[in-house]
A and B are shown apart, each in its own frame.
Chain A
Amino acid sequence: MADAKTAIMDQVRQQAALQNARQLVEKLNEHCFERCVPKPGTSLSSGESTCYTACMEKYMAAWNTVSRQYLGHVQKGVGSGGGFGGI
Chain B
Amino acid sequence: MDQLSVSPETAESLKNLSQKDKQELNQFIQNEGQKAQIQATVHSLTDTCFRKCITSKISSGKLDRSEEPCMQNCVDRYMDANLTVIRHLEQMRHS
Contact = CB atoms under 8 A, between A and B. Distances in A.
Interface of A: 3-5, 7-9, 11-13, 15-16, 19-20, 23-24, 27, 30-31, 35-36, 51, 53-59, 61-63, 65-67, 69-71, 73-74, 78, 80-81, 84-85, 87
Interface size class of B (residues with CB under 8 A): 35 or more
B35 A74 contact: no
Interface of B: 1-2, 4, 6, 10, 13-14, 16-17, 21, 24-25, 28-29, 31-32, 34-36, 38-43, 45-47, 49-51, 53-54, 58-63, 67-68, 71-72, 74-76, 79, 82-83, 86
Contacts, number: 128
B58 A51 contact: yes
A5 B25 CA distance: 7
7 A-B pairs closest in CB distance? A57-B61, A4-B13, A69-B75, A65-B71, A66-B46, A23-B43, A63-B46
A65 B63 contact: yes
Contact of B31 (A8, A70, A87): A87
A62 B79 contact: no
A62 B71 contact: yes
